[in-house]
A and B are shown apart, each in its own frame.
Chain A
């Protein structure tokens, strides 16, 4: 927030941004731009103003007001977007990033009032999806999207299908499996009670009846709910890996077979209750571990932010074509704020390209005619014409995305504790089981067999299998309370094993949003007004920043205004001649000290000084010094080294600050560190370090708005929590320690159970008590210990 504004600030009725002008006012309500005003206009026309009653400023700012949805009439694009279509009705599901409050929900479910051709709308709030059924005879998809756009809810239509990705998460029917297991567990417990308390001689017939019923109940538990364990164990055996699923599957199989055998021979009651309980708890553990963040995507690639269609120029008309059909030699037109989808040569227009996606440089670059512009840049300013020289799939940026780092599964990952332990666990378990079998065989075959099966039953690593999911699920919820979102539970263990941290500079340790503008000293109010009046006419981002800084001063109308792309502004206002721009343009000399971006100002041939744009560092930068005690820290940056001195205090060691690195260089650097045996964590913010994020053992994407685009990564960190990073690192180590402790507890239980089991005298009652008790102990211990660890690290 700025202190300099002396005037009372008016906020936009629609979006809550500051109003820099009084031009947009309806019924005493102020708006910051024409976009917001027009949304209000549409809503008030349709009697939908309750929208503003549920929340203050529910809208999004709308400083772009040109529609470009003509491509939605292309049949090929249309068919890929619609869920269903017949002669009359179409159904479409759209992803709308701006859905964030009850006003959104209310408005989007009232679309019918704006256009009666829309029959049905349903919002899924967490997934930010809108499902619409509409009459496509009366309203095209383009019309529908334009309506949404007009009310400020532009859907995000991209090649990377977010909607399909979000809706396939529930494919494995885990909930149904838990339901079946729980249902059988309850019934079997009930039927086993008489057995525990002993049946009189008269009631022996019940024993058989209950036994058979128990087998019946155990069937779906083994063959439906527990199916996955057998499949996974088999696959692991084929791959010659011993995972924890193998002893679990073995335990389930032995429990079932022994139960069937005992009931058939009438020698005992079997272990159906233990079996059902075991599968039930295991599945609950699985369920707890599966946490999905509907509003985040960890798997995005370049397709998420490339446009679905491009406008070709054919003669003198434009025609939208799907991106996949774009080829070399095509002439395309790129408008303000559109992304250049393929490497192309500039043919016409003034290109002012924002490459922040690719290089991390925040300020746009001017390109001259005939220059090659790489894909991934965003045009700011007027429309340009370009000729494609490489198809999308071979463009520079796409090549980077298609680097091996993205192809390979992260098999270089640090093995989780569970994976390491379960191998030895299985071997020891089988050794004890076979040992006790051989020990009893000379005495009696049945006793040998019962000892063998009892060992496998008791030592079934239920508690071990549960310790990780419950600890990690608790840890994950602590993390996301602190605005740190992990892709899955194994990321916590990866974090604990890290020894090297690499920071990206732009947007990671500097913030993207608040570039500080240093105003030249001694400006009079009149001069401020003149500069503001000139800059307000320019679309250049630097002008916008200056206007934001000077906001609230009086505006004059220039009598002459002339903007030279890449140089600056010439204007005459109130008889004063202004020159605002770079040093070559204003002072006729090249920039001497290029450590900060400067905008020079001259009024009536009198040089007043310059506006300097400084990167603002993120709060809590001193954490880097804290991290340095335990980790090796590096800085990688895509831009020039003009901030080397400022950052010298944080990265003291020589060679730990690297500038001018291309995305590929960053990836290679991480690779180099890994070859030296380091476990590298990379913290970056954008597409320009997406390769490095993928290559690293743990990639964290940092963002100031979690709903914005984030590249593929293992975790997403909200910029507000950047200063908690050392606490996060320590807490991840705590979580791993808790897993180790709970493993010790479960081994203790196993030793107690095994002492019964090896004698071959394990009663079903002992098994039935031991299993739930150990499970309950582990679950409560991990939850409580994680809670205390979080308190200790001040993360609660």
Chain B
């Protein structure tokens, strides 16, 4: 059953990696503006759309 020590160590390390990833995302401002991208994605890139 000693394998449990190792497994728990692994799982905690993995979870810590996720936590630090979240911190990085939060501090780099990824979640500052949660609304604009949802509008932006609906806009077309090209300008050759037929005029109304």
Residues of A within 8 A of B (CB): 47-50, 52-54, 102, 105-106, 109, 123-127, 170, 175-176, 179-180, 183, 186-187, 191, 202-203, 206, 209, 213
Contact = CB atoms under 8 A, between A and B. Distances in A.
Contacts of A191: 8
B3 to A, nearest CB: 12
Contact of A206 (B4, B15, B51): B4
B19 A105 contact: no
Contact of A105 (B4, B22, B26, B36): B36
A36 to B, nearest CB: 17
Given A54-B43, A180-B19, A187 B36 contact: no
B31 interface: yes
A47 B4 contact: no
A654 to B, nearest CB: 52
A191 B9 CA distance: 12
A105 B1 contact: no
B43 A187 contact: no
A773 B8 CA distance: 28
A126 B39 CA distance: 11
Given A102-B42, A106-B43, A209-B5, A176 B52 contact: no
Contacts of B22: 179
A50 B12 contact: no
A123 B26 contact: no
Given A52-B52, A176-B26, A213-B8, A105 B47 contact: no
A85 B14 CA distance: 41
B16 to A, nearest CB: 8
A379 B36 CA distance: 37
14 contacts: A52-B52, A102-B42, A102-B43, A106-B43, A109-B40, A125-B36, A126-B33, A176-B26, A183-B19, A187-B12, A187-B15, A191-B8, A202-B1, A206-B1
Interface string B28-48: 000111011001101110010
A127 B1 CA distance: 55
B48 to A, nearest CB: 9
A175 B25 CA distance: 11
Nearest to A175: B26
B36 A53 contact: no
Given A124-B33, A126-B36, A50 B44 contact: yes
A120 to B, nearest CB: 14
A379 to B, nearest CB: 37
Contacts of A49: 51
Contacts of B15: 183, 186-187
Contacts of A53: 49, 51-52
B31 A175 contact: yes
Contact of A47 (B1, B26, B47): B47
B4 A125 contact: no
A483 B27 CA distance: 33
A102 B49 CA distance: 16
Contact of A179 (B19, B36, B39, B42): B19
A551 to B, nearest CB: 26
Contacts of A105: 36, 39-40, 43
A50 B36 contact: no
B19 A124 contact: no
Contacts of A48: 47
A703 B4 CA distance: 64
Contacts of B49: 50, 53
A125 to B, nearest CB: 4
B11 to A, nearest CB: 8
Contacts of A206: 1, 4
Nearest to A127: B33
A186 B16 CA distance: 12
Contacts of A123: 36
A545 B32 CA distance: 44
Contacts of A175: 26, 31
Contacts of A109: 40
A478 B27 CA distance: 32
Contact of B47 (A50, A124, A209): A50
Contacts of B32: 124, 170
A48 B26 CA distance: 35
B47 to A, nearest CB: 6
Given A102-B39, A125-B33, A179 B4 contact: no
Contacts of A186: 15
A172 B17 CA distance: 23
Nearest to B2: A205
A191 B12 CA distance: 11
A53 B44 CA distance: 11
Contact of A176 (B1, B8, B23): B23
Given A105-B43, A127-B33, A202-B1, 7 more contacts: A52-B51, A54-B43, A125-B35, A126-B35, A175-B26, A179-B23, A183-B15
B26 to A, nearest CB: 6
Contacts of A124: 32-33, 36
A706 to B, nearest CB: 17
A209 B5 CA distance: 8
B20 to A, nearest CB: 10
Contacts of A47: 47
Nearest to A194: B4
Contacts of B42: 102
A203 B49 CA distance: 70
Nearest to A113: B47
B19 to A, nearest CB: 5
Contacts of B43: 54, 102, 105-106
Nearest to A49: B51
Contacts of B1: 202-203, 206
A109 to B, nearest CB: 8
Nearest to A109: B40
Contacts of B52: 52-53
Contacts of A102: 39, 42-43
A179 B4 CA distance: 26
A50 B43 CA distance: 10
Nearest to B4: A206
Contacts of B26: 175-176, 179
A170 B26 CA distance: 11
3 nearest A-B pairs in the assembled complex, by CB-CB distance: A125-B36, A106-B43, A124-B33
Contacts of A170: 32
Contacts of A180: 19
